[in-house]
Amino acid sequence: MTTPTAPEIAPAPAELSYRQTVDRTLVHRAAVSEVFVTDIQPLAAKRVRAAVQLPLTHGYYSDHLQRPAAYDALLLLESGRQAAIAGSHTHIGLSENTTMIVDAFRLELSGPKELLIGAEPGRLRIDTDYIGRPTRRGRYRKGKVAQRYIIDGTEVGEHEMDVLFLNRHENEVLRHAQRGTPAPLTSDFCDHGPGADDSRQVEPERVGRGNPLNVVLSGARLTTHSVTAEVTPRFDNRALFDHVYDHLPAMTLVEAARQLSLLSVGEPQATYTVGFEARFSRFAELDEVVLAEAPRGRPEGGRGAIPVRFLQDGAEIARVTVTVADGGEL
């Protein structure tokens, strides 16, 4: 995993193409239907520009009850992840078997007004800078990715990720060191992990969803001051689990945080998600129940942040702060 020492490239890229998606392996996806990047071009030695076509309809990213409909913040987050991975392989020099482990990220969006869905698929441009220093052997072990989002010529947000770069062997060593035993796989289970029970699943409309397949919370408990729920996604939801995992991926925890924040606010059909700030301290294991908790209440002024903690076996494994805005901003 080395980085070429090519000179700076003049910032005069060709026009981005939105005609077809890139090779799915460049964005670490199994299904072509889950690929949104359509082009990737170098701007400088550590800077790339990506084109992303935002779908008008999608079984997961479009399954929201808020009206008027806006592009999902998690769709923008996934688009940034794909653009960063594709650029790291095509222009930064990371090998194909490199895994990007996200330690922390921050996504800030202007929306919801700037994210409203029109009559044509959205044309998203993502400018990505890779920040970090290689080892003496020319290998990157950790770094930062900084991105700017532009939809149809209008800047709509920014995204930063702190990441570790591991090869497959290093990832296996890390997983075994944390667990002490081999980790089970999603393919070892049926549709759910431990603690899941369809009768305890949160009703879709309470978390702004229409399809029960996209609900990731069960056993919600609301008090005057707090809301808690178990994180119980369905492993046959191919948007969240596009391939076999040995843990709950970060995107699943972020979805759980979004749904818990909507439970906290209590008005899911009038509340939009416009940002996240997350830090992950441990992997969310598949064979132990993950509990999510947040304070209860609606932020003042129509926009505010709701902190969500994730606990497993009594220890905190992640924190995700969700920024929400009501329809009054439209």
Is the domain of 51 the same as that of 96?
yes
CA distances from 328 to 68, 118, 133, 272, 301 (A): 12, 19, 44, 10, 10
pLDDT at 191: 78
Is the domain of 190 the same as that of 161?
no
Is the domain of 74 the same as that of 102?
yes
Evaluate whether residue 222 is within a structural domain: yes
Evaluate whether residue 277 is within a structural domain: yes
Evaluate whether residue 210 is within a structural domain: yes
pLDDT at 75: 97
Is the domain of 198 the same as that of 297?
yes
Is the domain of 276 the same as that of 227?
yes
Q: What is the pTM of this model?
A: 0.90
Is the domain of 102 the same as that of 210?
no
Domain boundary pick from 123, 149, 171: 171
d(CA 292, CA 289): 10
Domain boundary pick from 146, 171, 196: 171
Evaluate whether residue 115 is within a structural domain: yes
Tally the domains of the chain.
2
Q: CA-based Rg of the chain, rounded to a whole angstrom?
A: 19
What is the domain range of residue 104? Answer: 24-171
Is the domain of 229 the same as that of 301?
yes
Evaluate whether residue 19 is within a structural domain: no
Beta bridge partners of 144: 131, 162
Write the DSSP string, 208-262: T-S-GGG--EEEEEE-SSEEEEEE---TT-TTT-SS--SSB-HHHHHHHHHHHHH
Domain boundary pick from 171, 199, 228: 171
CATH number for position 225: 3.10.129.10
pLDDT at 218: 95
Evaluate whether residue 4 is within a structural domain: no
| 1-56 pLDDT, tens digit each | 444 444 444 455 678 999 999 999 999 898 999 999 999 999 988 899 999 999 99
Is the domain of 132 the same as that of 200?
no
d(CA 165, CA 91): 16
Which positions of the chain have pLDDT values less than 50?
Answer: 1-10
Is the domain of 108 the same as that of 244?
no
Is the domain of 64 the same as that of 135?
yes
Is the domain of 39 the same as that of 133?
yes
pLDDT at 194: 66
Is the domain of 296 the same as that of 210?
yes
